């Protein structure tokens, strides 16, 4: 579902809209342009380029979009995720939580309309996970950032404004402003 919503895979029916554009009818070129400008991705495995510094990793989406990244812009995004002092460090010199924050900064540098996050805390210890979730939540609260996140963790899901439950590829339920208990109870229904 996440890949379809982000325009990485084509849907067989229905429509997907990002920034007011129906991407189901978009050409490959249009989808590429849209992903470079209106879509940000945060993956569980970080997907940082090991040979690049944190600031170079963050600047990569701008370069791919044919834009010359300004050092100030890149540094501001790194500062917003608490890594201003780690800009020149390579991924192997950063903790898992720091690497995920670099990945979030990389996703946010283009100021996307929507940020897709695939299990963004799955590879992190509990302290780093709380930090990353707090940062994502503050992005929603402070600047109205739209975030679509996939998770199997009830505690992570409970931090969302709305939770949609998928089972065997179908939408089966939804909760607005859920609690951990509500999410866990709903998940348990389909695990029986």
Strand 39-43 and strand 114-118: the pairing is parallel
For 137-156, what is each residue's pLDDT tens digit?
A: 988 999 899 999 999 999 99
For 30-66, what is each residue's pLDDT tens digit?
A: 998 888 889 999 888 889 999 999 999 999 999 988 8
Q: What are the residues facing 173 on neighbouring strands?
A: 165
Q: Would the pLDDT of 1 be above 90?
A: no
Task: Enumerate domains of the chain plus CATH numbers.
Answer: 2-150 (3.40.50.300)
For 66-76, what is each residue's pLDDT tens digit?
A: 888 888 999 99
Burial class (CB in 10 A: 0-12, 13-18, 19+), 40: buried
pTM of the shown model? 0.88
- Residue 192 has a pLDDT of 63
């Amino acid at each position: 579902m996440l890949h379809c919503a982000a325009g990485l895979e084509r849907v067989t029916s229905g429509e997907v809209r990002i920034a007011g554009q129906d991407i189901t009818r978009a050409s490959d070129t249009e989808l590429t342009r849209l992903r470079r400008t209106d879509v940000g991705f945060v993956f569980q495995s970080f997907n940082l380029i090991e040979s690049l510094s944190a600031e170079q990793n963050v600047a990569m989406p701008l370069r791919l979009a044919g834009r010359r990244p300004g050092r100030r812009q890149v540094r501001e995004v790194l500062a917003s995720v608490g890594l201003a002092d780690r800009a020149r460090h390579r991924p192997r010199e950063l903790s898992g939580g720091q690497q995920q924050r670099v990945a979030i900064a990389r996703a946010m540098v283009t100021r996307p309309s929507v940020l897709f996050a695939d299990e963004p805390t799955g590879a992190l210890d509990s302290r780093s996970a709380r930090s990353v979730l707090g940062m994502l939540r503050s992005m929603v609260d402070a600047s109205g950032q739209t975030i679509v996140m996939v998770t199997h963790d009830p505690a992570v899901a409970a931090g969302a404004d709305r939770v949609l439950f998928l089972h065997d590829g179908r939408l089966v339920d939804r909760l607005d402003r859920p609690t951990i208990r509500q999410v866990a109870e709903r998940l348990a229904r389909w695990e029986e």
